[in-house]
Amino acid sequence: MNFEYAAAPESRSVVKIDPEYGHFINGKWVNGSAHFNTINPATEEVLSRIALGTAADVDAAVKAARNAFDKSWSKLSGRERGKYLFRIARIMQERAREFAVLETLDNGKPIRESRDVDVPLSAAHFFYHAGWADKLEYAGVETTTAPHGVVGQIIPWNFPLLMLAWKVAPALATGNTVVLKPAETTSLTALLFAQVCQQAGLPDGVVNIVTGDGSTGSAIVNHPGIDKIAFTGSTEVGKLIARAVAPTNKSLTLELGGKGANIVFGDAAIDETVEGIVNGIFFNQGHVCCAGSRLILQESIADEVLEKLKRRMDKIRVGDPLDKNTDLGAINSAEQLAKIRELTAAGEAEGAGRWSANCALPENGFWFAPTIFTGVTQAHRIAREEIFGPVLSVLTFRTPAEAIEKANNTPFGLSAGIWSEKGSNILWATQQLRAGVIWANTFNKFDPASPFGGYKESGWGREGGRHGLSAYLKGSAK
Amino acid sequence: MSFYGLVDGSDSSLRNYLKQLPGVDQVGAEARAAMLATRSIKTTSKAWAIDTAISMVDLTTLEGADTPGKVQALCSKAFRPDPNDLTVPRVGAVCVYNDMVGIARQHLDSIGAHDLPVAAVSTAFPSGRASMAVKLQDTEDAIIAGAAEIDMVIDRGAFLSGRLIEVFEEIVAIREVCRDRAHLKVILETGELVTLDNVRKASYLAMLAGADFIKTSTGKVAPAATAPVVLVMLEAVRDFYDLTKVRIGVKPAGGIRTTKDAIKQLVLVNETAGPEWLNPSLFRIGASALLNDLLMQRMKMSDGYYASPNYVTID
């Protein structure tokens, strides 16, 4: 008998989208001079028009942030700052459905993920950092407890609201003021967050949001009035920013790309490992910097795991992101889809075996079926370059040392996963792996108290936890 | 002797077979079960799921206070769950204690429900604390009285002390009594096995010994049919089919009281063992109160409002 799940869409009427938005500067909405469309990647429908921030807009935002830092925010006690953060966190929880629906519309991710992961974790980041605001002296950081001043923050499109929370919450808790630029394709939840700041009565100029593209980001990076830059995005842009910031006094943290190794030992709990592999690469359409995009399987169980993985992948429900039963949503942009197609074509051309789940893809919008490549070697582009899509490269190993060697043989070092029922195996492997985050028998687990960041070309500095606080305090390493 | 060609019936072969099964990561299994519980089943799929769930109910009464009258009423309800609406399917079976089997069978026959099976709980249910002779006689009695399905309990004490071969041989012996006269459901009482590793081991042990169904619980021990336990059992029957091409059924029992609970079970089946198991011959739900909730939800779907509980019969 066939159990078809009828469509169960979340209502989009819970959120109001304006036809056009300006920038949020000094607590007020400021009209932009030029605009661009933001679309729903699942349907290509135009959702709204977003202002393209100019150097003048950025300058106004930096001045507002400086003024707020000097006149109000730096004069407040940690306890007072904490009160604002608690208030923001509570409002985010109250307006969780609005945020979730808006995130899904603008980004293309399934409502199940925006509802159960992005929005609750974002609120959790504000709650967590609210608690630190008056306890910085006891955080055990190796820096001073003085804020930098004005921080410029540039965030990516894969977790628009969550990355905002990762950036804004620690900045405010430590007493900095903020100029934030959301990603070009996903500005809407940041603009809704601006409304939350107003609702919380946050002093004007403490949080400023300037929307735009790379040129707007560049204006932020190069503005002399900014004391610290925090960036999450591609390694390519991260390198440009590092070069731009090098001759200045600005502090810098970078959270960049990855090519996470998910290592499965022969004694792993297979069914849960298969779930973990799926969660590692197909969570958020694989638009995850710490995705487990390289599966490194011990030969003794490779066939069994792959067979179970394919069966499981056929059950992944691809389609309308607003449907509560959707597991895999839309690719965020035509540009990203083109990049995924280019790299998967290279995988086929280089001789790897391609297998895609049997699923119907909607006609409009940007879609890519969950895909794995078997017989991948270290020399393949799909084993080296970040695909940032629902595509998994599968490699095998015989000895544990070989697994580690393959896992570490990458310019990245953001995340890794280990699957084994043997504790000593896990402890040994974690000591050998060069990655900032290592998960054992789970994947893509995030918590505000846990520092996140990379080795090598995956980034500088840590976000979250006590380590993340120090990045926003004076005396932190560049 | 050979059991599916996987073990030879000796202690060492059974022990080695169960030892090589992959472990279950409890955190991961719970997360998967919790994710599947978020599936939103609405409109047409809900209507389909309600009727499917009704056809899978093993309508059960297992009380010391059971009377012939109560059992007869239960049988009538099993055959026509809603006397006012004959489109409601009949349930999967009626499940009673040994001494009520004859009464149930007679009553079902008298109302024309000849093909509605009676299931008997057996082997000194629910504790399983009796001699082998008593357990065999308990089963034989029930079959003679008309039981077409035997729900036996395993000896959890033996399982937990590692005397796996005792548990195995007991199931084999009961299987021998049932032969082709009755279907054998083996109750693992997962609430007493505690770990998911044990649930997987006991599932394989029962399947190897000849179970037609593996069943979670007696309903007398909490926790009973939790979602992670059912998930692990569904994985076991799915993987066992890959090995043997034989499909073993699964019966969660205990604690499934609402339509929502039942639909969650069907989602687990659909996305774990697969749609082949969405059939009363391979999936049953042991329950008593559940049926009324299913009927009330069914009425709500056709009438558009929740009826008072007075509109469904109490037994």
In angstroms, the CA A478 to CA B5 distance is 65
Look at residue A364 and tell me if it is in a domain: yes
Cβ-defined contact of B38 to A268 (cutoff 8 Å):
no
Catalytic residue among B77, B185, B201, B215: B215
CATH of the domain at A404: 3.40.309.10
Same domain as A377, residue A308: yes
Q: Least CB-CB distance to B23: which of A3, A315, A421?
A: A421
A209 domain residue, yes or no? yes
Q: 3-state SS of chain B?
A: CCECCCECCCHHHHHHHHHCCCCCCHHHHHHHHHHHCCCCCCHHHHHHHHHHHHHHEEEECCCCCCCHHHHHHHHHHHHCCCCCCCCCCCCCEEEECHHHHHHHHHHHHHCCCCCCCEEEEECCCCCCCCCHHHHHHHHHHHHHCCCCEEEEECCHHHHHCCCHHHHHHHHHHHHHHHCCCCEEEEECCHHHHCCHHHHHHHHHHHHHHCCCEEECCCCCCCCCCCHHHHHHHHHHHHHHHHHHCCCCEEECECCCCCHHHHHHHHHHHHHHCCHHHCCCCCECEEECCHHHHHHHHHHHHHHCCCCCHHHCCCC
List the structure tokens of A300: 């003794």
**Nearest Cβ partner for B45 among A4, A270, A273:** A4
Question: Do A70 and A208 reside in the same domain of the chain?
Answer: yes
Size of interface A-B (CB pairs under 8 A): 75
Map tokens 């249910």 to a residue: B125
> Are residues A214 and A299 part of one domain?
no
The answer as to whether A206 is a domain residue is yes
Say whether residue A450 is in contact with chain B using an 8 A CB cutoff. no
Using 70 as the pLDDT threshold, list the residues of chain B that sit under it: 1
| Whether B151 is catalytic | yes
Contact A6 B27 (CB under 8 A): no
Report CB contact under 8 Å: B275, A267.
no
To the query of whether residue B19 is one of the catalytic residues in this protein, the response is no
Closest chain B CA to residue A269: B23
The distance of A287 to chain B (nearest Cα, Å) reads 20
Residues of A within 8 A of B267 (CB-CB) are 3
Residue B185 confidence (pLDDT): 98
Question: Is residue A305 in some structural domain?
Answer: yes
Taking CB atoms and an 8 Å cutoff, what residues of chain A touch B22? 267-271
Given the structure tokens 């790309």, which residue do they identify? A257
Position A70 in a domain? yes
Tell me whether residue A5 is in a domain: no
Enclosing H/E stretch for A51: strand A45-51
Residue A442 to residue B28, Cβ atoms within 8 A: yes
Q: Which domains does chain B have, with CATH numbers?
A: 11-303 (3.20.20.70)
The pLDDT of residue A423 is: 97
What is the complex's ipTM, to 2 decimals?
Answer: 0.95
- Beta-carbon separation of A272 and B24 below 8 A: yes
Determine the structural domain holding residue A66 and report its residue range: 12-256+456-470
Residue A319 lies in a domain: yes
Let me know whether A231 and A302 are in one domain. no
Mutation site, B21, B40, B283, interface A, largest A CB count within 10 A: B40
Put simply, whether A268 touches B (Cβ < 8 Å) is yes
Name A245's Cβ contacts closer than 8 Å, sequence gap at least 6.
A221, A229, A252, A478
A372 to chain B, closest Cα gap in Å: 20
A297 within 8 A of A396, measured Cβ to Cβ: yes
Q: Measured between CA atoms, how close is A331 to chain B, in angstroms?
A: 22
pLDDT at A141 (0 to 100): 87
Does residue A185 share a domain with residue A42?
yes
A3 vs B48: CB contact, 8 Å cut-off? yes
Query: Is the same domain home to A297 and A197?
Result: no
Same domain, A285 and A242: no
A59 and chain B in contact, CB less than 8 A:
no
pLDDT of residue B314: 80
Q: Residue A1: its pLDDT value, please?
A: 66
Which are the catalytic amino acids of A? 255, 289
- B266 contacts on A by Cβ (under 8 Å): 3
Number of domains in chain A: 2
Look at B49 and A268 and tell me if their CB atoms are within 8 Å: no
d(CA A278, CA B48): 29
Q: Do A1 and B278 touch (CB under 8 A)?
A: yes
**Cross-chain Cβ contact A442/B278 below 8 Å:** no
Residue B1's pLDDT is what?
Answer: 67
Residues A212 and A296 in one domain: no
B contact test, residue of A2, A4, A5, A264 with most B CBs within 10 A: A5
Nearest of A231, A143, A127, A107 to residue A447 by alpha carbon? A127
Give the pLDDT of residue B2. 79
CA-wise closest residue to A347 among A317, A321, A381, A370: A381
Provide the H-helix boundaries in A294-396.
299-313, 334-349, 381-384
Q: Is the dihedral of CA A261, A265, A266, A269 positive or negative?
A: negative
* Cβ <8 Å between A271 and B235: yes
pLDDT on residue A196 = 98
Same-domain status, A136 and A186:
yes
What residues in B contact A269, CB-CB < 8 Å?
A: 22-25, 28
Across the interface, whether the CB atoms of A325 and B22 are under 8 A apart is answered: no
A224 and A109 fall within a common domain: yes
pLDDT at A76: 97
Residue A114 maps to which CATH number?
A: 3.40.605.10
Q: Does residue A38 share a domain with residue A121?
A: yes
Domain presence at residue A449:
no
pLDDT tens, N- to C-terminus, chain A (478 residues): 689 999 999 999 999 999 999 999 999 999 999 999 999 999 999 999 999 999 999 999 999 999 999 999 999 999 999 999 999 999 999 999 999 999 999 999 999 999 999 999 999 999 999 999 999 999 988 889 999 999 999 999 999 999 999 999 999 999 999 999 999 999 999 999 999 999 999 999 999 999 999 999 999 999 999 999 999 999 999 999 999 999 999 999 999 999 999 999 999 999 999 999 999 999 999 999 999 999 999 999 999 999 999 999 999 999 999 999 999 999 999 999 999 999 999 999 999 999 999 999 999 999 999 999 999 999 999 999 999 999 999 999 999 999 999 999 999 999 999 999 999 999 999 999 999 999 999 999 999 999 999 999 999 999 999 999 999 999 865 5
Does one domain contain both A248 and A267?
no
* Catalytic position from the list B82, B251, B261, B264: B251
